[in-house]
Amino acid sequence: MTTVYLIRHAEAEGNVYRRCHGQYDSLLTPRAYEQLPCLAKRFEGVPLDAVYASDLFRARTTAKAVAQPHGLNVELRPVLREIDMGDWEDLPWAELPRIWPEEYAVWRARPWDARPPHGESVLQAGQRMLDGVRGLVRQHEGGTIAVVTHGSAIRGALTIAHSFTPEQMGEIGWGDNTCVAKFEFDGPDRLAVVYENDASHLPERLSTFAAIGWKDNKGVPETPQLWFRRADPMDAGDAGKIVAFLRELHRNAYGTDANLDPDALLADVARAQRVSPRACCFGCLESGEEAALVYLKTWYDDEPDIGLVGGFCIDERYRGRGLSGQILGQAISVYRALGKTYLCAHAAEHNARAQGFYRKFAFEQHGEYRDENGLHYRMFKRICVD
């Protein structure tokens, strides 16, 4: 009998930024690094012969937490990767029904039939990953191994392992980050599922599902999800909304908007959008209402490895509803595509709200900056995936 512990990676950017990350390589979140010791403790008394992982950062970093207490190295296998989401990779989930309404409707209603354009289905990913696990079982017959992989691939593999029909895939819920399934193999082809989707090692405060309002792990999170549209500085309606968002941002930061020059601001936005059309976007609700603004100074090239934030602003009616991670995720998506290593924001000395936002998402202060509005702390977050 060969035992395989199938482990989902710790919380990653896509999980909280509400973006479609299949084989897109992303980083772990601050909460993930609190989840990892809990996972390591769960396995500290479990004899392991080897630890394997997908080669994506979020899986291989999770695997290290399991392997290191046992003195093992993590062996990487691309076959263990997450589902290939094709043309959907790194898009906000809320954008998909607007661009691919028919395909996304199938994904929601009949996920066993769904296949993103130029991607693979959940069952294809599950079969691929499970075939990779069977190969590892052949190498470790009679032993015990841990395999760190991904949510959709695990869901597909569990459907196959239970000998369910494709239509029964809905009976298998999504597993929380760092959840564990235990498989027992009698040879590489005969297997039994001992348990699945077990995240009992996590206290509720570290549960990703709890944090994003996912009460029913077979549905979708309860928190609002944003899609992003370009804010056009040449359109009178959009221009007025851009200025209104950034006027509120200035008043919150400095107590006044006296130094805000609308014409200069809109010229800067146009300049930034010549570098990336996504440099200034509205974060929109399902209704189309603009709930947030993301403005990035993509024209800034004094420090080539730094992507500079021009401003994040959430309409006060929607603050505290889980949108902050989504606007940060949009900024990271833009600057990672431009090859930047760090995201940098200038938080005003007396703007406690902004400082709290950046510290929540693990920005670190390195230096100060002064302009006509006063002193600012330079806050940095590494966004490059090594």
So which residues are the catalytic ones?
9, 82
> 370, exposed or middle or buried, with CB in 10 Å at 0-12, 13-18, 19+?
exposed
Would you put residue 317 in left (φ > 0), alpha (ψ -120 to 50) or beta? Answer: alpha
Which region holds residue 197: left if phi is over 0, alpha if psi is between -120 and 50, else beta? left
Tokens representing residue 279 in the block: 């440099």
